[in-house]
Amino acid sequence: MRKLLAAAATAALLGLTACGSGSLTSGEESASSSGGAEGLTPIEVGVIPIVDVAPIYLGVQEGLFEEEGLDVTLTLAQGGAAIVPAVTAGQMDFGFSNITSMIVGRSKGLPVKMVAPGGSSTGDTDADFASVMTLPDSGIETVTDLAGKKVGVNTLNNISDSTISEAVKQAGGDYESIEFVEIPFPELSGQLAAGTVDAIAAVEPFVTIAGADGAVPVFSNYAEPVDDLTVAVYFTSDQYVQENPEIVEKFARAMNASQEFAEQNPDKVRAVLPTYTSLEPAVIEQLTLPRYSTEVNRASVEEVARISQDRGLVEELPNMDELLPQE
């Protein structure tokens, strides 16, 4: 089993994350929701092949977008860094990205607008889809033990390192002494075993894979230090909102319905994962799913924005009313 899970790390190609960088994946578009049926409005959505986006695949599969009059094409990308410019340039209509990237982008003048929730933390520090992990003999047993250690994260200056440092700070540890090292998700477990880093910040399926390789959890940096954390969202551009308000409303309704369907049907979430990822069945069976909320938790986004400013990721906080979904 351990060999199977470890092999999946290489095969899955799931270093393509909301937190990561990358480009659009050429030639990898899903079938549209209706095949271009007459009377439906075509939209293109940039997504990443991770468990967080399972609801939109289910929504297309179950006809929830078609009910709103939308013909959806899902385009795979290698990260939010590719999706954001595609959306703001009008090459895509909607996209998926983590909230820190949205906050940083908006603070730098990018006209990004959240329209619907993506994955959220379960809030359970013992069962979340993100985990800071280490080796059993590392001497790291608590959050404060991370002070002065090297921690592998998939992208520097983003949601993982900022939430980890905030957790250490709140626990009274020397958060400024942590050295974060950028390592792609598929390589985290191997680099931990090699001693390159003392701990890693993993998300599913790499939490499951690292556990099979012998790593143990320290805490979930998504379940704490921010309560009820909205981790990722679907977004569009200000211009698209202004020019297509009805389409945005329809997309938001269909997306919320898809999130609710996914939350109520975890077996169908696991069943849809092989349609757009290369995950092995053994990994899919064991991984912890995100919580698929129907609302973006404003308080959690504002807290992450504060943390981002405290860590120097943004100089000035963006206008949250302009960034967050319309109420």
Q: How far is CA 317 from CA 45, 106, 110, 147, 216, in A?
A: 27, 9, 13, 27, 36
Rounded average pLDDT over 189-213:
95
Asked if 83 and 96 touch (Cβ cutoff 8 Å), the reply is yes
Higher pLDDT, 156 or 327: 156
Sorting pLDDT into bands at 50, 70 and 90, what band is 20?
A: very low
Question: Taking residues 26-30, what's their average pLDDT?
Answer: 48
Report the C-alpha gap between 311 and 297 in whole angstroms. 21
pLDDT at 11: 41
Q: How far apart are CA 232 and CA 131, in angstroms?
A: 16
Is there a contact between 291 and 259 (Cβ–Cβ < 8 Å)?
A: no
Rounded-to-integer distance, Cα 313 and Cα 319, Å: 16
Q: Mind listing the pLDDT tens digit for each residue in 142-187?
A: 999 999 999 999 989 899 999 999 999 999 999 999 999 999 988 9
| pLDDT band, residue 77 (cuts 50/70/90) | confident
Q: Where are the alpha helices (DSSP H) in 197-237?
A: 206-212
What does the DSSP assignment read for 126-181? TS-SEEEEE-TTSS--SGGGGTT-EEEESSSSSHHHHHHHHHHHHTT--GGG-EEE
pLDDT score for 169: 96
Q: How confident is the model at residue 59 (pLDDT cuts 50, 70, 90)?
A: very high
Domains in the chain, CATH or no CATH each: 11-122+228-323 (3.40.190.10), 130-219 (3.40.190.10)
Q: What is the pLDDT of residue 9?
A: 40
Closest CA to 205 of 292, 131, 291: 131
E-state strands within the chain: 24-29, 41-47, 70-77, 94-98, 112-117, 130-134, 150-153, 179-182, 199-203, 216-219, 232-237
Two structure tokens written together for 69: 């009059």
pLDDT score for 126: 86
Q: What digits encode the pLDDT tens for the residues 221-238? A: 999 999 999 999 999 999
pLDDT of the residue at 30:
54
**Mean pLDDT, the chain, integer:** 89
Distance separating the N- and C-terminal Cα atoms of the chain? 47
pLDDT at 49: 86
- Report whether pLDDT(3) > 80: no
pLDDT at 242 over 90: yes
30, two tokens: 């899903």
Least confident of 42-46, 74-78, 268-272: 74-78
pTM, entire model: 0.87
3-state secondary structure of 73: strand
pLDDT for res 326: 82
Q: What is the mean pLDDT of residues 233-261?
A: 98
Pseudo-torsion of CA 236, 259, 15, 168, nearest 10°? 90
Residue 125: per-residue pLDDT: 86
Residue 26: predicted pLDDT: 41
CA-CA-CA-CA dihedral for 275, 280, 285, 287, to nearest 10:
-90
Instruction: Give whole-number Cα distances, 300 to 29, 100, 170, 227, 230, in Å.
Output: 32, 11, 16, 7, 6
Residue 278 backbone zone (phi > 0: left; psi -120 to 50: alpha; other: beta): alpha
Nearest one of 291, 320, 306 to 170, comparing CA atoms: 306
Percent of the chain scoring above 90 in pLDDT: 80
What one-letter code names the amino acid at 69? G
Sheet holding 94-98, edge to edge: 24-29, 70-77, 41-47, 94-98, 232-237, 112-117
**What's the pLDDT score for residue 37?**
64
Res 35: pLDDT: 56
Both tokens assigned to 198: 């003392």
